[in-house]
Amino acid sequence: MSYAYQISAPGGPEALQRVERGLGAPGPGEIRIRHRAIGLNFIDVYHRTGLYPLPLPHALGMEAAGLVEAVGEGVTHLQPGDRAAYASNPPGAYADVRLMPAQNVCRLPEAITFEEAAASMLKGLTVQYLLRKTLPVQGLQAGDFLLWHAAAGGVGLIACQWAKHLGLKLIATAGSDEKCQLALDHGAAHAINYRREDFVARVKAITEGRGVKVVYDSVGQDTFERSLDCLRPFGLMACFGNASGPVAPIAPGMLAAKGSLYLTRATLFTHLSSRESTQAMADELFEVLANGAVRAPVGRVRPLSEVADAHRELEARATTGSTVLIP
């Protein structure tokens, strides 16, 4: 027997309920993995509230690390006993043990702990596809400015470090002076407390009126329109989350009026569509973690039994770094 936390209907954190279940052997293309650490992400909130609907009932959680217990027919890149980590569909990481497709599960190097992997797989692969693949038409070169909202969260702190490693000047926004300092400590070139500063004016001052080539925004509704004003002509607005709510529809003419801007709504799982692309992205993430260019931002460690409270804390934007859940 194993257990998992699932929802039977969309709702608040109280909708998460523990259920007992039996697990058999993995089927073709599957593995059985025993989790040692589980990551908490805002996409889990979107699944719980129904913003991203799931067939119900459904366990939640997109990211974890642990030990492979068994492999199904056709799985050749993993063996029983391997340390492994993933950021993968379908949701179901809020469990002690699970069966899952093996395609997006990667062997975890010994140099990276289970907690570090759980704090950085989904978040680190998100940063990888944004900074390395989701690029403005003019590209990004060392010395270029970019704007990153919510930079003191788990994704943002990885982005601060990785951007510095690439020679980019990341302008961070966060909701307190303490969070701004955390972003600076992790490699941001500048930090703006959006609760008491006009981030558009500050970005223009920092860039001497030119604006940034790209804005990476997981906040959504609260920051979208003003972020467009931070972009230079031909700049890219890269939306990858909706923490404050979804962005309202816009007229394409707005992009023209603000300088022939580009707009994309990017998702990690489009990039993880094949075993080869997943492994290539993970290899790059594991390299920067192993060589110290990026440190996994493990924030708070909680038992999985406190997952509802962890959701409340995340939605209140009361977290810094990544919350890790231990089954």
Whole-number Å distance between alpha carbons of 302 and 320: 14
* 304-311, long-range: CB < 8 A, 24+ apart: 304/5, 304/38, 304/94, 304/96, 305/18, 307/5, 307/16, 307/40, 307/94, 308/13, 308/14, 308/16, 309/13, 310/40, 311/13, 311/16, 311/40, 311/44, 311/45, 311/48
Shared domain for 103 and 188, answered yes or no, is no
Read off the pLDDT of residues 230-265 as tens digits, 9 standing for 90 and up.
999 999 999 998 877 888 899 999 999 999 999 999
Residue 321: pLDDT above 80? Answer: no
Q: Is residue 126 part of a domain?
A: no
Is the pLDDT at 299 greater than 90? The verdict is no
Report if residue 40 sits inside a domain. yes
| pLDDT per position as a tens digit, 9-45 | 999 999 999 999 999 999 999 999 999 999 999 899 9
Tally of domains within the chain: 2
Give the domain-ending residue among 221, 236, 265: 265
Q: Which of 265, 284, 301 is the last residue of a domain?
A: 265
Whether residues 141 and 237 share a domain: the answer is: yes
Q: For residue 242, what is the domain's CATH number?
A: 3.40.50.720
- Same-domain pairing of 259 and 297: no
Domain containing residue 50: CATH number: 3.90.180.10
Q: Which of 45, 87, 95, 36 is nearest to 65 (CA)?
A: 36
Answer yes or no: do 176 and 236 share one domain: yes
Tell me, yes or no, whether 142 and 255 share the same domain: yes
**pTM of the shown model:** 0.89
Q: Which domain holds residue 285?
A: 2-121+275-326
Same domain assignment for residues 114 and 143:
no
**Mean pLDDT: which of 66-80, 264-278, 310-324 is highest?**
66-80
Cα-flanking dihedrals φ and ψ of residue 31, to 5°? -130, 160
In this structure, are 46 and 154 located in the same domain?
A: no
> At a CB cut-off of 8 Å and minimum separation 6, what does 159 contact?
127, 130, 131, 148, 151, 170, 216
CB of 222 closer than 8 Å to CB of 123: no
